[in-house]
Each structure stands twice: as C-alpha cells, then as structure tokens.
Chains A and B, each alone.
Chain A
Amino acid sequence: MKKWFTHNMGLKLIALGLAIITWIYVSGEILRNKKAQTFPQKSTTATP
C-alpha cells in the first residue's frame, strides 16, 4: 500500500489537485444552474 502511494507521487498529486479543482468548479456550475432554474431572474425590459 505504501509503495502504491510513493510510486509516481508527483503525478498522483497533480492529478488529485486537478480532480478537486474540477469537482469544485463543476459543482459550482451545477448549483448555479439549479439556482437559476429555481429562481429565474425577472426580466427588466418592458413588455407591451
């Protein structure tokens, strides 16, 4: 198990960093879209 962690550690850390950042970014986007669907912004333009 220890060998698995120490083997190619640099790449593993970079991959973990990328995975965390991607997850945070995508989760944020999904949340924003959900919010936008639940509370749609009222149009400010005048309608006839």
Chain B
Amino acid sequence: MFFFLWSFLKPVVEISILWMIFYQTLVFFEGTRSFQVLKGLTFLVFAFMLSQIAGLDTINWLLTKLFGISIIALLIIFQQELRLGLARLGQQHLFNIALEETEVMAIIDEISNAAYKLSKTKTGCIMAMERDAKLKTYIESGISLDARISSELIQSIFNHHSPLHDGGIVIRRDRIVAAACLFPLSDNPSFSKIIGTRHRAALGLTEQTDAIVIMVSEESGEVSIASDGRFIPVINRDRFTHILKNLIVGAQKQKK
C-alpha cells in the first residue's frame, strides 16, 4: 500500500523540490544584471530540450558544443553572484552575541538623531550598518576610528569642513569602526540614471552584502534606507525608527 502511494507521491515531491530550487535561484538573481543572462540561458536550455525531443540533430549538436564552451563564460559572468552566494553560505552570525533590544534602540536613536539633524542642514551622509557579512574590505578603504556611536560624532564626521566627510562610515554593533570608506557603486540598469552617486553606493553595498545603509541626500535633505539592493521608503522619523528596528531586531529574532 505504501509503495503504491509513494509511486504517486514521488513525482509531486520531486517537482516540489525542483520548484523550490528554481524559485530560490530566480529570487537570488532577481533585480541583478545577471537576471537577463539567466533568462537567456533558460531560453537556451529550453531550445536544447526541444531539439532533443524533436530529434533535431544539427541544432542539438550545435547547442551541446555551445554549452561546453559557455561553462567558462558563465563562470566569468556570474563571478560576482557565485562569490556572494558562497560567502553567504559560510557567513557567521553577526551580532554574534545579540544586542539587547534596549541597546539596539539606543543605537537607532543616535543614528536617527544624526540623520535628521544632517537632513535639516542638507548635509549629505552615508552610513553602513554591518550585519552578517563582514565589511572588512570597505573598512580598509577608509580611516579606522573605533569610537562609540553618537549623534554628535556622526554630525562632526559629515561636516563639510571635516577631512573625513568624503565617503561613508561603517557601524559595527554600537561602534563606528571607520569613516571615509569607499562603497561599491551599483550598476543595476533597472534604477534610473537620475539617482546620484551616494544612492548608487548605498545600493551597490546592499547588493553585495547584507548591510543596512542609511543616507541623507545633499540635494533634497531626504533620508533613505537601503537593504538587499532596494530602497525602503521613509516618510518620517517614526517610520525611520520602525524600519531600522525591524531590520535589526527582526533579523536577530529570526536567528534565535
């Protein structure tokens, strides 16, 4: 009886597993440059399967040869994604010893205070909060600080007369570990060319790592939050605190 039932259930289980793998792959690549390549690749695989089913030997031969050559090309095209995927597999939990909610709220309070004060004076700033993925490469591009986070310190760093105001700061737990850090720029074609370099840097960093990036626009004084390669709309200060709390405390709770 069990084997009889299993013979019916087996295809469902197998298709479900394949579905999950394909879906996760598509989600992983969604919104990146490689998504277009993935679409093209899917079309080629389709063509290959059809040519086999229809017995189109010439097309089949050509596609088989093409796949052989394209493995190296794929490794080069997906180099960044493969690196990121492998890095995420081996990631350790950031807030290794999770911060207490009150500590997180104090950090958020200092950041939001600084961001909204800088926003009032239309002073541009970019702050990256490290989560699981270590931002060592970017920290090394800047100037080491290792100071306890405070609104006044952030405002001093981004003051136009400060030698550290160019570039971004990196926050690890409750400390500003470096300032004047260079972040990678996003070249995602789906974002309008109107967005400035600071916004591109925020997106670039959140595309390549799981960091949360907070920035203030120099032109409009608008405060924004970026995470996972996307901007999260911020309407007011309460919403800002709420989003940041969800991103940090929510992630900590998920790990528990």
Contact = CB atoms under 8 A, between A and B. Distances in A.
A22 B18 contact: yes
Contacts of A20: 15
Query: By DSSP majority rule, is chain A's interface helix, strand, loop, or mixed?
Result: helix
Contact of A19 (B18, B42, B49): B18
Given A21-B49, A25-B49, A14 B15 contact: no
B11 A15 contact: no
A41 interface: no
A14 B46 CA distance: 13
Q: In which size bucket is the chain B interface?
A: 10 to 19
A11 B27 CA distance: 8
B26 A11 contact: yes
Size category of the A interface is 10 to 19
B49 A18 contact: no
B219 interface: no
Interface string B42-86: 100010010011000000000000000000000000000000000
14 contacts: A8-B27, A12-B23, A14-B26, A15-B22, A15-B23, A16-B23, A18-B18, A18-B22, A18-B42, A19-B18, A20-B15, A21-B49, A22-B22, A23-B11
